[in-house]
Homo-oligomer: A and B are copies of this chain.
Amino acid sequence: MNSLNAIRLFTASVDAGSFSEVGRRLGMAPSSVSRQVAALEDSVGAQLIHRTTRKLSLTEAGRLYFERVSRILAALDEATAAVSHLEESPRGVLHVNGPTAFGVRHVAPALPDFLARYPEVRIELTLTDNFVDLLEVGADVAVRVGELEDSSLIARRLAPNRRVLCASPGYLAKAGAPERPQDLADHNCLVYTRHHGNVNWNLGGPDGLAEVGVSGNLRTNNTEAVHAAALGGLGIALLPSWLVGQEVQSGRLVEVLPGYRAAPGALDTGIHALYPADRHLSTKVRAFVDFLVERFGPRPYWEETPSGKGGGH
């Protein structure tokens, strides 16, 4: 196949008017230029340049080829530049994928700041709760809460995923606050589970790990439903801090058994940004992930407490 280099040397020779001059400008031997152009001529099957020791002149075929090929080379350089340009600074469309609840509460609110910092980026945010293949859906980066599937993607930790026992002040006034993990068995516990069967909450505290079987009059596979029920005063819930942290801060919910915390399970591996393990990570993805890390960590705003205690990792 004919090489791009030969074509570039051909046009350069036409511009310079001499193979030697081209060699001088490009720092290569004149013989190489000569041979490349000769090879190009063989490749297209026509003489392109009449050669004299003193002067080069185009044949008709050469003129024709030069005209067309000059524009083509320019277009090719433009195409390359356009792509390289994309990488100079964050710009272009950034497809972000994430779970609905977390996305609505913490990703979407962050976007104005991000877009203000990088005005040339446009974001396409897709919130889905079923697991999607990043590449399948055309996403550049995904935010995942817990449960990292084993994949070729790179995971960057954005925040811890602590779970908090909490209930509304109304419920606690009526039912009292548990003082030890075992007390939970006597409370109406709002259970989030994806499976059937009994549910245990594992709580670590000053007296070690306690496993408590919990139950109540609401079981659901939807965290938001648990959340709503807890806000409504139905009972005690075990919910991620990113969901209830700010309500605990405002007092709409009260943390229960604050000396204890849920033992880290599969759901507690943290909140991560996932992106393809490509050798060339695009600047817009890097910028977005860096932005999220900066915004959330090391202690996310939803973990802040007025007294400075709690949360963290």
Contact = CB atoms under 8 A, between A and B. Distances in A.
A102 to B, nearest CB: 24
Contacts of A3: 3-5
Contacts of A223: none
B135 A52 contact: yes
Interface residues of A, number: 52
Interface string A64-91: 1100110110011011101110110000
B87 A76 contact: no
Interface in A269-300: 276, 278-282
B47 A278 contact: yes
B135 A83 contact: no
A152 B79 CA distance: 42
A61 to B, nearest CB: 5
A140 B278 CA distance: 55
A128 to B, nearest CB: 18
A87 B69 contact: no
Interface in A3-41: 3-5, 7-8, 38, 41
A279 to B, nearest CB: 7
A278 to B, nearest CB: 4
B279 A140 contact: no
Contact of A1 (B8, B43, B281): B8
Copies in the complex: 2
A163 to B, nearest CB: 33
A4 B47 CA distance: 21
A55 interface: yes
16 contacts: A2-B80, A3-B3, A3-B5, A41-B280, A45-B84, A46-B87, A47-B280, A52-B152, A57-B135, A57-B138, A59-B278, A59-B282, A61-B83, A64-B79, A65-B80, A65-B82
Contacts of A211: none
Interface in A43-61: 43-48, 50, 52, 55, 57, 59-61
A200 B153 CA distance: 98
Contacts of A71: 75
A60 B285 CA distance: 12
Nearest to A278: B47
A69 to B, nearest CB: 6
Nearest to A281: B47
A152 B52 CA distance: 8
Nearest to A5: B1
A3 B4 CA distance: 6
A92 interface: yes
Contacts of A152: 52
Contacts of A218: none
A281 to B, nearest CB: 7
A79 B84 contact: no
